[in-house]
Amino acid sequence: MRHAKRHVRNAQADVDRGVYVHDKAGKITFGEWAEHYMALAEKRLARTSYARDRSYLDNHILPRWGKVKIGRITRVDVDRWIAELSEDGASV
């Protein structure tokens, strides 16, 4: 029982810090998650908005993050990537 309570406290702390990833979700790649998200987005976004987002995803985001498991992506990784894009003059 003590172990379970500790696990819940740790998970809540991760949620509060914005770093919690469910165990199952952390095992899929960002690309797999993005494709699922885009399938849903295609139904709810305007055609031009979907095309814009798809272009950003295909040309900028998936080349960097597509094969990375979600559980391995940290806020620091994303901040560093954004800084690199800014240095290169690219934009997402």
Residue 37 lies in a domain: yes
Please give the pLDDT value at position 13. Answer: 66
Residue 76 lies in a domain: yes
Residue 77 lies in a domain: yes
Residue 44 lies in a domain: yes
Q: What is the pLDDT of residues 33-75, one digit of tens each?
A: 999 999 999 999 999 999 999 999 999 999 999 999 998 899 9
Residue 12 lies in a domain: no
Residue 51 CA to residue 23 CA, distance in Å, equals 31
pLDDT at 18 over 60: no
- Read off the pTM: 0.66
- Structural domain of residue 37, as residue ranges? 21-88
Within 13 Å, how many C-alpha atoms sit on residue 69's CB side? 10
Quote the number of domains for the chain: 1
CB of 65 closer than 8 Å to CB of 31: yes
